[in-house]
Amino acid sequence: MSRLVAVVLIGSWMLSGTIARAQTAPAQGANHVISDQDLNLLRKDLRSKKKQLIAANLKLTDTEASKFWPVYDQYVTEQIAINDKKFGLIQDYADNWGRMTNEQSLLFSRQWLDMDIQTAQLRQKYVPIVSKVLDGKKTATFFQLDRRIAMMMELQVASQMPLVQEQAQ
């Protein structure tokens, strides 16, 4: 697994995900390998930290918490499916970087945007679900927190991915 993939995955795991595929060829300059077991532990830890951030910033009563956290867990489960696709896309990008054709580059862009759309659609789907267990202000606060955390991680991931144009011509 390349260093690029390991760094990018750390960011994307914060958004949730499942077991990483580690049987990939190292990319140029790769000198860092991380095991599946370590990746799984890291992903669980990052999901836990995300939940802790939300819990610390979303002030819930005991009654609200008992209703909200099962909905949150369901939301995260659906988010994991999207992030699995994103992981596969990042893995493919890392595996093919340096050899990407114009067509592959365009396909990557379309697929990345599809992941953004799926994430936005998931949030839209969950606004009415969350609003059944929390009032409007707390629902909005949850989605603000979720989005802020996701944007921080997205920025971290994007900044670690080399630009397509930087490939050897």
For the segment 6-64, what is each residue's pLDDT rounded down to a tens digit?
444 455 444 444 333 333 333 444 433 455 566 566 666 777 788 999 999 999 999 99
Q: Does residue 32 or residue 143 have the better pLDDT? A: 143
Spatial distance between the Cα atoms of 159 and 107, rounded to a whole number of angstroms? 20
pLDDT for 47: 73
Comparing 148 with 2, which gets the higher pLDDT?
A: 148
Yes or no: say if 79 and 122 are a contact pair by the CB < 8 Å rule.
yes
Whether 97 has a pLDDT exceeding 60, the answer reads: yes
Grade residue 153 by pLDDT with cuts at 50, 70 and 90: confident
CA distances from 66 to 1, 48, 76, 134, 153 (A): 40, 17, 16, 11, 28
pLDDT value of position 31: 35
Looking at per-residue pLDDT, the higher value among 125 and 18 belongs to 125
Q: What is the pLDDT of residue 22?
A: 33
Mean pLDDT, residues 112-141 taken together:
97
Q: What is the mean pLDDT of residues 99-105?
A: 88
Tokens describing residue 151: 């944007």
Between 133 and 1, the more confident residue is 133
Tokens representing 83 are 């992030």
pLDDT of residue 27: 43
